Structure 1
Amino acid sequence: MTSNQAKKLYQKGIELLSYGKSDEAVNYFREAVESDPLCMEAQLELGYLLGSMENYEEALKCFDDAVRLEKNFPGLFGKGMCLFFMEDYEKSLEAFLDAQGYGENEDLWYYLGSLNLIHSGNYEGAINCFDIALSIDEDFVEAWNDCGTAYSILEDDENALVCFEEALNIDPDYKQAIYNMGATLADMGRYSESLMYLDRILEKEPDNFKALFYKGNVLYFMEKEEEAIEYFTKALEIDKNQAELWNYLGYVQFSLGQNHEAVESFKEAIKINKDYETAHINLGNVYMDLGKDSLALSCFEKVLEISSDNEEAIKILSDLGHHNRRL
Structure 2
Amino acid sequence: MDKNQQGIQALQEGKMEEAVKYFSEAIEENPTDPVAYINFGNVLTTVSELEKAQKFFERAISLDSNAGAAYYSLGNLLYNQDDFDGAKNHYEQAIQKGVENEDVFFMLGMSLINLEQPKFALPYLQRSIELNPEDNEARFQFGLCLAKIESYEEAIKELSIVVEKDPKHADAYYNLGVAYAGYKEDIEKANKCFDRALEIQPDHMLAGYGKKMIEKLNNPEE
Identity %: 18
Distance in 1 separating the partners of 2:128 and 2:173: 21
Distance in 2 separating the partners of 1:163 and 1:49: 36
Instruction: State the aligned residue count.
Output: 209
For structure 2, the 5+ residue unaligned runs are 182-189
Of 128, 131, 137, 1:136 maps to: 131
Aligned residue for 2:174?
A: 182
Higher RCO, 1 vs 2 (CA within 8 Å, ≥6 residues apart)? 2
Aligned residue for 2:119?
A: 124
TM-score, structure 1 length as denominator?
Answer: 0.55
Residue 63 of structure 1: CA displacement? Answer: 1.1
Distance in 1 separating the partners of 2:193 and 2:96: 46
C-alpha contact 1:198 1:215 (8 A) present in aligned 2 = yes
Residues 89-111 of structure 1 show CA distances to partners (whole Å, capped at 9, x for unaligned) of: 23222222222222122222222
1:64 to 2:61 alignment:
no
1:222 to 2:193 alignment:
no
Go from structure 1 to structure 2 and tell me whether the alpha carbon gap of 1:192 and 1:97 turns closer, same or farther (over 3 Å shift): closer
C-alpha contact 2:160 2:176 (8 A) present in aligned 1 = no
Distance in 2 separating the partners of 1:164 and 1:29: 45
1:244-263 aligned at under 5 Å gives the runs none
Go from structure 1 to structure 2 and tell me whether the alpha carbon gap of 1:113 and 1:85 turns closer, same or farther (over 3 Å shift): same
Distance in 1 separating the partners of 2:47 and 2:143: 28
1:193 to 2:193 alignment:
yes
Amino acid at match of 1:143: A
Aligned residue for 2:184?
A: none
Go from structure 1 to structure 2 and tell me whether the alpha carbon gap of 1:50 and 1:172 turns closer, same or farther (over 3 Å shift): farther
1:42 to 2:36 alignment:
yes
SS in 1 for 2:201: helix
Residues 121-160 of structure 1 show CA distances to partners (whole Å, capped at 9, x for unaligned) of: 3322211221122222222222201111111222333322
C-alpha contact 1:22 1:49 (8 A) present in aligned 2 = no
Aligned residue for 1:17?
A: 11
RMSD of aligned residue pairs (Cα, Å): 3.0
For structure 1, the 5+ residue unaligned runs are 1-6, 203-207, 225-254, 257-327
Go from structure 1 to structure 2 and tell me whether the alpha carbon gap of 1:142 and 1:223 turns closer, same or farther (over 3 Å shift): same
1:36-185 aligned at under 5 Å gives the runs 37-71=31-65, 72-103=67-98, 104-119=100-115, 121-173=116-168, 177-185=169-177
Go from structure 1 to structure 2 and tell me whether the alpha carbon gap of 1:111 and 1:24 turns closer, same or farther (over 3 Å shift): same
Greater Cα offset, 52-61 or 107-116: 52-61
